[in-house]
Amino acid sequence: MSAATLESFLAELDRLRADSEAAVAAARDAAAVEAARVEFAGAKSGRLKAIQKALGGLAAADKPAGGRHFNEAKAAVTELLAAAQARLAVAAAAGPPIDVTLPGSAVPLGHLHPITQTIRRVQEIMGRLGFESVDGPEVEDQWHNFEALAIPAEHPARDPLDNFYLAVARGADPLLLRSQTSTVQIRVMEARRPPLRIVSLGRVYRPDTADATHYPMFHQVEGLLVEPGTTMAHLKSVLRLFASSFLGGDVHVRFRPSFFPFTEPSVEVDMEWGGRWVEMGGAGMVDPAVLAAVGYDPAEVSGFAFGLGVERIAARRYGVADIRDFYRNDVRFLRQF
Amino acid sequence: MILSKQWLADYVDLPASTAELAERLALAGLNHESTAETGADAAIEIEVTSNRPDCLGHIGVAREVGVLYGRPLRIPDPRPVETAAEPRRRLTVDIAAGDICPFYSARVLRGVRIGPSPPWLVERLRTVGMASVNNVVDVTNYVMLETGQPLHAFDLAKIRGARIVVRRAVAGEPFEAINHKTYALDERMCVIADGERPVALAGVMGGADTEISAATTDVLLESAQFAPLPVRAAARGLVLASGSSYRFERGPDPAMVDWASRRAAALILEVAGGALERGPVEAGRLACAPAEIPLRSGRVADVLGCDVPQARQREILVGLGFVDTATSPDSTTWRAPSWRRDCWREIDLVEEIARIEGYDRVPEDVAIAARPVEWSAREMAVRRAGEVFIGAGLCEALTRSVVSEALESVASPWGDAPPLTIRPALVRGADRLRRTLLPSLLEARGGNAAVGTDDADLFEIARAYVARPAGSSDAASSPVEEPLLASCVVGGDYFRAKGLAEAILGRLGVDAHATVEWRPVACALLTQGRAAEIVLHRDGAAERVGIVGEVAAATLEAAALTGPVAAAELRLDRLDGVIARERALERPSDFPAVERDVNLVVAESVPWSEVAAAIRGGAGGLLERLRLVQVWQDAERLGVGSKSLVVSLRLRSDSGTLSGDAAAAAVDNIVAECSRRTGATLRA
């Protein structure tokens, strides 16, 4: 190389650095990295060696600056090559290629029961609407299961053949397995003052012969809202928000008149599901007699209540044709949820 | 209730489309079950709720149609021709039990010719699913289906002593019904007796001996009111439900008792001939006290959330048979019709207006104010326990709360009292409320094994039921305690089940408020020596909150399982008071840790829990993690009766880097504390 100016010397250094970076980046294996090392840092004819010779050709005043830049470039290239070699060494130590279709290490994952999943979904949606989940006893007395719910002693619903009465009683008060989760609503209303928004949920019991659509033990979710000025429009709007969240899309609800002792007016609730009206449960305005039974003034507050049969919803949601399957506890069934 | 469309059209003009009619009725409260075309007629089956006995007859349904479509009703006024003969001269009627039979009437027809019914009558009954018997019996059925008022026809010649007595049955009294079965009655039931014996089970079924036969010429036609309870006692107690009992349990229209009697008499004269004697023989008084109900003008809008104009409200109520008895600017008082005894309060009138006007009028898009919602501690405990179980690969089971004796014969960890029982059984043989979930889960694991899944690891979170000791303070409020249990049955040994229990206790954060102790326990379900109770110490009190262990061989065998199987059961209801809702952050130290392994030799009888407590006590706050690496015994190297515990200690200070000397001092301190408390020696 002939005598050079500092400017061309530095330009040559810049080129070298750029070329070395490109070469290392392109190197996919040890041979390519070695070829780059020979090209740039080779002891005999590497490009660094050649530039080092050109350093001697610089004017004396330029030599300190040229030397400093040369040393920087040399260090950078050396480091670049060392890093590339280290990277390849790690890769080489990671083991031979594998059959990527071999199975992964099994992660044991459990499954919540579909009934629980359905209840949780309802709780979650109702929670967003301000309804708190509450819990209560399953062994109940006459007051909470019947009387406070405006079901008097002579009502057919209290017939011994239609309930699971316990052999033990509390004094003269027969006890039974609750036939509805409305019992919890009574307990909460007795303990608190309005405003109130709750969902009560859990197991209930009625002596039905087990078949594809009946089981003597099943689950209910019941909602209750008691606030001044509550109307059926609030009931319908809450159920529509629920239906739209649960089923997805803009779902409409339909009320058909019905009869329950503890609500007045009472309705059956249909929701549009899969292009047709599906009966989802019962609802209505809390009967003034129920409000009075828990010590509320029906002139001051009103409320609504609704109940959903969890098994029925879950069966439809998951395509379960026989609700007894929910209680067989076959893990081949449970693991699908 | 099955309706004949043609029959309905006798009383009101119907819309042309049967489907539209059915839909409209459904949206007004008469749920549509099915429609079957039967030649020229159509059979429409509707579901009638128990508060609407008026719709258990065609006239009542026709009234609904009239209101819904704004069309007039055509109700006939039967005036059968009567002879001069007065039946009361030859027949007496007495009511001995007015509380169960307020009113009884009997008409007498003589010279009747029993035979087949005319085709129109046979056809109508067939459409609504009723077989033709003979012309007189068919008429009584026809009028019941027309009015909702059940009737009964007796062969007057078979009535002994020329008298009818309505009384309570005598316990054990035999009665042979029309179905030729003999029943033993009890005193809750009501009978129609003649001078000598029961001739009908009141409101339910007639007797075999006095039924209308081909030889009958004189007929006693009964139309009466019976209270619901004796009818239900008989219908259910004897499994003898009938169209009659179904209606009396719900309460027919008192105003139709005489109408139905006259109607049936007129039809018998038409289809069977004969002569009707003058007037009925009656006893008692018709119970009919329609309510007077004030309706405030703004009330409908207050309940429904949408207004219905006053004129429309009036139109609906008048159409349903309500009579305006007083009107003021703010309110109108309405008298309910005799057939609507379910309407006696203002809210009942609001419902009538709403269901006829249609609930599609109620808006579905009003704003709902937001409200805060908090998870209860109980809910949080249930969710966290479930998370641990499914994170560990278990599936959630739902087993029955009520079990058979076989599953309940082992003692419960939660109380010594014998299991509570229910009646009837939940399913065959299962009448005992369970006191622990574990037998049910073992049974479920066994069921899985039987179909080839021998690794079914299951959990359940549910209640058990334990009788409280009589006389205890809690027993007064409820004699039954309901422990909320989180239970599991898994393949593996004690340590797998204990690991799950520990993970739940950790996830609930019980260590923030309490300490947990594991004590050996004797429990029939679990193997002696490989089971523990979990005892929670809090505020100086100690209580059992769980059990864990390996399932005993006999229990496994009973469930057709092969081991090893382990189980754990935790009382979440006892833990929800100690769960940590949220905890303050303990900031991790920025300084390096020092790891030290220590090999301690102690007597075999020393439990790990004591050694661990000594290690923690000696560490002076520097111990970040304690891990038991190995336990081994070797008589030659350690001596008889000793064991070696290899523990790994991670020491770290949060105020500075721990020097080698400081770490060594800490280890020395730990060993010294172990030696002092447990007699441990350091093995070189």
CATH classification of the domain holding A278: 3.30.930.10
**How confident is the model over A281-301, as pLDDT tens digits?**
999 999 999 999 999 999 999
* Secondary structure of B245-297 as H, E, C letters: HHHHHHCCCCCHHHHHHHHHHHHHHHHHCCEECCCCEEEECCCCCCCEEEEEC
**How confident is the model over A59-85, as pLDDT tens digits?**
888 888 888 888 988 888 888 888 888
What CA–CA distance (Å, rounded) separates B625 from B616?
Answer: 10
**How confident is the model over B429-456, as pLDDT tens digits?**
899 999 999 999 999 999 999 999 999 9
**B390/A111 touch (CB, cutoff 8 Å), yes or no:** yes
CATH number, residue A60:
1.20.58
Q: How confident is the model at residue A1 (pLDDT cuts 50, 70, 90)?
A: very low
Token pair 């009890």 is found at B186
- Check whether residue A70 and residue A212 sit in a common domain: no
Give the count of Cβ contacts less than 8 A between chain A and B: 230
Report the range of poorest mean pLDDT among B17-21, B363-367, B580-584, B663-667: B580-584
With beta carbons less than 8 A apart as the criterion, state whether B153 and B260 touch. Answer: no
| pLDDT reported for residue B98 | 94
**A130/B372 touch (CB, cutoff 8 Å), yes or no:** yes
- Check whether residue A88 and residue A182 sit in a common domain: no
Nearest to A325 by CA among A216, A244, A211, A240: A211
For residue A4, pLDDT over 80 is answered with no
Nearest to B453 among A111, A134, A332 (CB): A332
With beta carbons less than 8 A apart as the criterion, state whether B320 and B340 touch. Answer: yes
What CA–CA distance (Å, rounded) separates B267 from B219?
Answer: 13
Q: Whole-number mean pLDDT of chain B? A: 94
What CA–CA distance (Å, rounded) separates B442 from B577?
Answer: 29
Residue A229 included in any domain: yes
The H-or-E segment that residue B463 falls in is strand B458-463
CA distances to B410, B499, B555, B624, B651 from B659, in Å: 58, 35, 55, 16, 11
Which residues are bridge partners to A306 per DSSP?
A: A223, A283
For residue B684, pLDDT over 80 is answered with no
Nearest to A281 by CA among A249, A304, A302: A304
- The arithmetic mean of pLDDT across residues B559-574, rounded, is 94
* Secondary structure of B596-622 as H, E, C letters: EEEEEEEECCCCHHHHHHHHHHHHCCC
- Check whether residue A61 and residue A121 sit in a common domain: no
For residue B407, pLDDT over 70 is answered with yes
**B478/A328 touch (CB, cutoff 8 Å), yes or no:** no
| CB within 8 Å of B17: residues ≥ 6 apart | none
- The arithmetic mean of pLDDT across residues B284-311, rounded, is 93
Q: How confident is the model at residue B206 (pLDDT cuts 50, 70, 90)?
A: very high
**B376/A161 touch (CB, cutoff 8 Å), yes or no:** no
With beta carbons less than 8 A apart as the criterion, state whether A221 and A156 touch. Answer: no
What CA–CA distance (Å, rounded) separates A236 from B364?
Answer: 5
Residue A208 included in any domain: yes
Nearest to A279 by CA among B47, B363, B19: B47
Nearest to A110 among B29, B394, B467 (CB): B394
What CA–CA distance (Å, rounded) separates B83 from B86?
Answer: 8
**How confident is the model over B77-102, as pLDDT tens digits?**
999 999 999 888 889 999 999 999 99
Looking at B363-427, which runs of residues are DSSP E strands? 395-396, 402-404, 422-423
- Provide the ipTM: 0.90
By CB neighbour count within 10 A (0-12 exposed, 13-18 middle, 19+ buried), where does B542 fall? middle
**How confident is the model over A248-275, as pLDDT tens digits?**
888 899 999 999 999 999 999 999 888 8
Nearest to A77 by CA among A7, A11, A16: A16
- Check whether residue A300 and residue A184 sit in a common domain: yes
Establish how many alpha carbons lie within 13 A of residue A233's alpha carbon, considering only the half-sphere containing its beta carbon. 16
What CA–CA distance (Å, rounded) separates B245 from B235?
Answer: 7
**How confident is the model over B650-662, as pLDDT tens digits?**
999 999 999 999 9
**How confident is the model over A135-153, as pLDDT tens digits?**
899 999 999 999 999 998 8
| pLDDT reported for residue A327 | 96
Residue A172 included in any domain: no
Domain extent for A319: 114-138+177-334
The residue ranking higher by pLDDT, B474 or B653, is B653
**Cα dihedral across residues B179, B182, B188, B194: positive or negative:** positive
- Chain B neighbors of A166, CB-CB under 8 A: 420-422, 433, 480
Contact with chain B for residue A255, Cβ under 8 A:
yes
What CA–CA distance (Å, rounded) separates B467 from B470?
Answer: 8
Q: Whole-number mean pLDDT of chain A? A: 91
Helix A310-318 and helix A114-128: axis angle, to 10°?
Answer: 110
With beta carbons less than 8 A apart as the criterion, state whether A326 and A250 touch. Answer: no
Distance from CA of A334 to the nearest CA of B (A): 7
Number of domains in chain A: 2
**A331/B458 touch (CB, cutoff 8 Å), yes or no:** yes
- Check whether residue A253 and residue A217 sit in a common domain: yes
Chain A segment 121-160 residues within 8 A of B by beta carbon are 127, 129-135, 137-139, 141, 154, 156, 159-160
- Check whether residue A297 and residue A209 sit in a common domain: yes
Nearest to B217 by CA among B139, B280, B154, B163: B154
What CA–CA distance (Å, rounded) separates A53 from A30?
Answer: 29
What CA–CA distance (Å, rounded) separates B478 from A139?
Answer: 9
For residue A40, pLDDT over 50 is answered with yes
Residue A154 included in any domain: no
The H-or-E segment that residue B551 falls in is strand B541-551
- Check whether residue A39 and residue A188 sit in a common domain: no
For residue B133, pLDDT over 60 is answered with yes
DSSP A122-152: HHHHHHHTTPEEE---SEEEHHHHTGGGT--
| pLDDT reported for residue A7 | 87
CA distances to A279, B4, B18, B21 from B40, in Å: 32, 10, 12, 17
DSSP B311-340: HHHHHHHHHTT-EEEEE-SSEEEEEPPTT-
With beta carbons less than 8 A apart as the criterion, state whether B280 and B331 touch. Answer: no
Distance from CA of A330 to the nearest CA of B (A): 6
Q: How confident is the model at residue A160 (pLDDT cuts 50, 70, 90)?
A: confident
* Secondary structure of B132-194 as H, E, C letters: CCCHHHHHHHHHHHHHCCCEEEEEHHHCHHHEEEEEECCCCCEEEECCCCEEECCCCCEEEEC
For residue B476, pLDDT over 80 is answered with no
Report the range of poorest mean pLDDT among A172-176, B247-251, B293-297: A172-176
- Chain B neighbors of A138, CB-CB under 8 A: 401, 463, 465, 482
Q: How confident is the model at residue B631 (pLDDT cuts 50, 70, 90)?
A: very high
Count of residues in chain A: 337
- Check whether residue A60 and residue A127 sit in a common domain: no
- Check whether residue A69 and residue A201 sit in a common domain: no
Distance from CA of B318 to the nearest CA of A (A): 19
Residue A267 included in any domain: yes
| CB within 8 Å of A124: residues ≥ 6 apart | none
Domains annotated for chain B, with CATH where assigned, are 2-69 (3.30.56.10), 87-284 (3.50.40.10), 292-361 (3.30.56.10), 377-575 (3.30.930.10), 594-682 (3.30.70.380)
What CA–CA distance (Å, rounded) separates B521 from B523?
Answer: 6
Which residues are bridge partners to B551 per DSSP?
A: B526
Q: Given A93, A127, A156, which residue is the final one in a domain?
A: A93
Would you state the structure tokens that stand for residue B139, as one six-digit string? 């008429």
Report the range of poorest mean pLDDT among B30-34, B84-88, B186-190, B341-345: B84-88
Residue A66 included in any domain: yes
For residue A3, pLDDT over 60 is answered with no
For residue A171, pLDDT over 80 is answered with no
- Check whether residue A76 and residue A130 sit in a common domain: no
- Three-state DSSP at B386 gives helix
Q: Given A93, A123, A154, which residue is the final one in a domain?
A: A93
The H-or-E segment that residue B648 falls in is strand B642-651
For residue B410, pLDDT over 80 is answered with no
Minimum CA–CA partner of A288 in chain B: B347
Q: How confident is the model at residue B475 (pLDDT cuts 50, 70, 90)?
A: low
- Check whether residue A122 and residue A55 sit in a common domain: no
What CA–CA distance (Å, rounded) separates A179 from A286?
Answer: 18
**How confident is the model over A208-249, as pLDDT tens digits?**
999 999 999 999 999 999 999 999 999 999 999 999 999 888
| pLDDT reported for residue A28 | 81
With beta carbons less than 8 A apart as the criterion, state whether A226 and A302 touch. Answer: yes
Would you state the structure tokens that stand for residue B474, as one six-digit string? 């809690």
**How confident is the model over B21-48, as pLDDT tens digits?**
999 999 999 999 999 998 889 999 999 9
